[in-house]
Amino acid sequence: WEHTGGDDLQSSIEENAVSVVAFVPPAKILAWINRVQRPVISDVVAESLGDFKKADETVIIAYLDEGDETLRAAFFEVAGKYREEFTFGLVTDAGAIEAEKITGPTVRCVKPLDEDSRDLHGFTDVESLEKFVKENSRPLIGELLPHNHRRFLERGWPMVYVFAATESERSEIRTTLKETARSYYESLTMVTVDPLEFPDLPGKLGLESSAFPSGAVHQLSADKIYPYPKGRGLTPNELLSWGLDVWQERVKPWTPPGVTTSYDNLGGRLKATRSVSIKKIPGYEPPIDHALATGQRTMSLYHEAADILSASGGNLKTRIFGRKDLKAPPQQIYALALETCKWSSVLKEVIEASELMRHERKLSPLLALLLVHDFLLSKRGVALPATHGLRTSIERHKARLNAEFTRARIRRKAGSMEALRQQVTTEHQGEAARYPRWVRVNTLKTTLEDQLASTFKDFTRVYSIGEVTDASSGKLLHVDEHIPNLLAVSPSFEFAKTEAYSSGAVILQDKASCFPAYLLDPLPEDGDVIDSCAAPGNKTTHLAALVHSRTAESEQCAQRIYAFEKDKHRALTLEKMVKLAGAKDIIRISFAQDFLKVDPNAQFFKDVGALLLDPSCSGSGIVGRDAMPTIHLPELPSSNSNKSQYQKSRKRKRGDDARAESTQEVFVDDDGTETVVATEKELKVRLEALSSFQLKLLLHALEFPAATKVTYSTCSVHAEENEQVVLRALQSEVGRRRGWRILKRDEQVRGLREWPVRGTVDASNGDTEVADACIRSYKDDGRGVMGFFVAGFVRDAPEAIDDDGPFLRDENGRIIRDASGMPTLKAARVSDPSRASATSSFPVEGPDGDEEMTENLESEDLTTSGDESSPDEKDEDEWNGFD
Ligand SMILES: C[S@@+](CC[C@H](N)C(=O)[O-])C[C@H]1O[C@@H](n2cnc3c(N)ncnc32)[C@H](O)[C@@H]1O
Per-residue confidence (pLDDT) for residue 37, from 0 to 100? 85
* DSSP bridge partners of 598: 863
Distance (Å, rounded) from C-alpha 60 to C-alpha 118? 10
Alpha helices per DSSP H over 706-789? 723-731, 733-737, 750-754, 768-773
* DSSP bridge partners of 530: 562, 611
Distance (Å, rounded) from C-alpha 22 to C-alpha 31? 16
In the chain, domain spans: 8-245, 288-426+628-650, 435-508
Sign of CA pseudo-dihedral 470, 471, 476, 478? positive
Report CA(571)–ligand 1 centroid distance (Å).
Answer: 9
- The CATH code belonging to domain 8-245 is 3.40.30.10
Per-residue confidence (pLDDT) for residue 52, from 0 to 100? 93
Report CA(506)–ligand 1 centroid distance (Å).
Answer: 22
Give the residue, out of 566, 591, 673, 877, with the most ligand 1 atoms within 8 A of its beta carbon, to mutate for a pocket test: 566
Q: How open is the CA angle 431-435-440, to the nearest 5 degrees?
A: 140
Closest ligand 1 atom to the C-alpha of 532? Answer: 21
Report CA(73)–ligand 1 centroid distance (Å).
Answer: 66
Sign of CA pseudo-dihedral 730, 731, 737, 739? positive
Closest ligand 1 atom to the C-alpha of 535? Answer: 27
DSSP, residue by residue, 625-685: --SS----PPPPSS-GGG--HHHHHHTTTT-S-----TTSEEEE-TTS-EEEE-SHHHHHH
State ipTM: 0.99
Q: 435-508: which CATH topology? A: Alpha-Beta Plaits (3.30.70)
Give the residue, out of 514, 595, 596, 616, with the most ligand 1 atoms within 8 A of its beta carbon, to mutate for a pocket test: 616
Residue 880 has a CB neighbour count (10 Å cut-off) of: 24
To the nearest 10 degrees (0 to 180), the angle between helices 301-310 and 365-377 is 130
Structural contact between residues 526 and 610, judged by C-beta atoms closer than 8 angstroms: yes
Structural contact between residues 877 and 594, judged by C-beta atoms closer than 8 angstroms: yes
Q: How do strand 59-63 and strand 106-111 relate by DSSP bridges? A: antiparallel
Distance (Å, rounded) from C-alpha 401 to C-alpha 538? 46
Distance (Å, rounded) from C-alpha 165 to C-alpha 211? 9
Structural contact between residues 777 and 786, judged by C-beta atoms closer than 8 angstroms: yes
Dihedral of CA atoms 306, 312, 318, 320 in degrees, nearest 10, equals -20
Question: Which residues are catalytically annotated?
Answer: 715
Per-residue confidence (pLDDT) for residue 825, from 0 to 100? 66
Per-residue confidence (pLDDT) for residue 8, from 0 to 100? 52
Distance (Å, rounded) from C-alpha 758 to C-alpha 774? 6
* Three-class DSSP category at 824: coil
Distance (Å, rounded) from C-alpha 820 to C-alpha 813? 20
Closest ligand 1 atom to the C-alpha of 539? Answer: 8
Per-residue confidence (pLDDT) for residue 743, from 0 to 100? 97
Report CA(564)–ligand 1 centroid distance (Å).
Answer: 8
Structural contact between residues 697 and 688, judged by C-beta atoms closer than 8 angstroms: no
Report CA(570)–ligand 1 centroid distance (Å).
Answer: 9
Question: For atom 14 of ligand 1, which residue has the closest CA?
Answer: 533
Which helix H or strand E contains 290, and what residues bound it? helix 288-299
**What residue ranges of the chain have pLDDT lower than 70?**
1-25, 257-298, 313-314, 429-433, 471-473, 624-628, 637-666, 669-676, 678, 797-883
Distance (Å, rounded) from C-alpha 592 to C-alpha 879? 9
Residues with CB under 6 A from ligand 1: 513, 533-539, 564-567, 570, 594-596, 614-616, 670, 697
Which helix H or strand E contains 790, and what residues bound it? strand 788-794
Per-residue confidence (pLDDT) for residue 316, from 0 to 100? 81
Closest ligand 1 atom to the C-alpha of 537? Answer: 9
Report CA(747)–ligand 1 centroid distance (Å).
Answer: 27
Distance (Å, rounded) from C-alpha 348 to C-alpha 131? 50
Question: For atom 11 of ligand 1, which residue has the closest CA?
Answer: 533
Q: Which residue, 329, 343, 318, is CA-closest to 383?
A: 329
Structural contact between residues 521 and 749, judged by C-beta atoms closer than 8 angstroms: yes
Give the residue, out of 565, 580, 694, with the most ligand 1 atoms within 8 A of its beta carbon, to mutate for a pocket test: 565
Per-residue confidence (pLDDT) for residue 259, from 0 to 100? 54
Residue 689 has a CB neighbour count (10 Å cut-off) of: 10
Closest ligand 1 atom to the C-alpha of 567? Answer: 25
